[in-house]
Amino acid sequence: MEVEDDNDDLGNYKEVSDIDSELDEGEEENFDAVFNTLSSAGTTQPAPLSPSAADNREKNKPKKASTTQKPVVVDDFIRNFMIKSGMKKSLDAFQAEWYEMKESGRIKVDEEVVPDVYVKNEQLDNQLYALREEAARAQAVAEKARGTWEKFRLERDFHRMHHRRVQQEKATLLRDMKRLQAHCANFEPALKQ
């Protein structure tokens, strides 16, 4: 098999300058260095956009996504209520009867939507539950702080009572010392004689 060297279909290519001359002597030749050298050698500044091209670019920008909340379907509402309430047997019976009625065509699933008032009540109920849990946690913290404060108050009272007792003993000892000094002062003239 022979391959002919035909330069006519290759197209126009730019000549790349010698990479080895642009690399530092001590720099090891690796992919990143070669890539950086090629990108810096071949980069050109983009031409400024014309007003019509700028308008087209603005039109082609992706728009911000928006979400819409679908209304809650009745069966999902009832299932969520039963799961939250812990009614497993009722949930099993409901699902069995619901699918049976759905298969027989007695229920049109697409039209059954929970009114917004019920959805709002459920949201408020969830919010109330969360706030009650938060209040219970705050109450527990307050009780702990109250217990700590009570403990510190009892310790303070103990130390205060101990301090008063020590002061009374000191006063008693000082009084006894003065009496002994007065008593010893009476003996001193007798000892001199």
Domain hosting 108: range is 71-114
Residue 128 pLDDT exceeds 80: yes
pLDDT band at 106 (very low <50, low <70, confident <90, very high): confident
Residue 79 lies in a domain: yes
Q: State how many domains the chain has.
A: 1
The whole-number pLDDT of residue 147 equals: 93
Residue 107 lies in a domain: yes
Could you tell me if residue 90 is inside a domain?
Answer: yes
> What DSSP string describes the chain?
-------TTS---PPPPPHHHHS-SSS---HHHHHHHHHHHH--PPPPPPHHHHHHHHHHSPPPP---PPPPBHHHHHHHHHHHHT-HHHHHHHHHHHHHHHHHT-S-GGG-B--HHHHHHHHHHHHHHHHHHHHHHHHHHHHHHHHHHHHHHHHHHHHHHHHHHHHHHHHHHHHHHHHHHHHHHHHHHHHH-
In a domain, 30, yes or no: no
C-alpha–C-alpha distance, residues 173 and 111, integer Å: 96
Report yes or no on 92 lying in a domain.
Answer: yes
The pLDDT of 120-135, averaged and rounded, is 93
The model's pLDDT over 172-193, given as tens digits with 9 standing for 90+, comes to: 999 999 999 998 888 888 888 8
Q: In angstroms, rounded to a whole number, what is the distance separating the alpha carbons of residues 169 and 164?
A: 9
Residue 120 lies in a domain: no
Answer yes or no: is pLDDT of 6 > 90.
no
**Is residue 97 situated within a structural domain?**
yes
More confident: 5 or 157: 157
The average confidence (pLDDT) of the chain is 77
Has residue 147 been placed in a domain? no
Highest mean pLDDT among 76-90, 161-175, 177-191: 161-175
Q: Indicate yes or no: pTM above 0.85.
A: no
Q: Please, which residues have CB within 8 angstroms of residue 41's CB and are 6 or more apart in sequence?
A: 16, 17, 22
Lowest mean per-residue pLDDT among 5-19, 27-41, 83-97: 5-19
- Give the contacts of 122 (CB within 8 A, at least 6 positions apart): 77, 80, 81
Task: Using pLDDT thresholds of 50, 70 and 90, give the confidence band for residue 31.
Answer: confident
On the question of pLDDT at 71 being above 80, the answer is no
Question: Is a pLDDT exceeding 80 seen at residue 150?
Answer: yes
CA dist 41 and 22 (Å) reads 10
Cβ–Cβ under 8 Å, residues 82 and 94: yes
User: Cα(31)–Cα(50) distance, rounded to whole angstroms?
Assistant: 37
Mean pLDDT of 43-51: 52
What average pLDDT does range 63-90 have in this prediction? 77
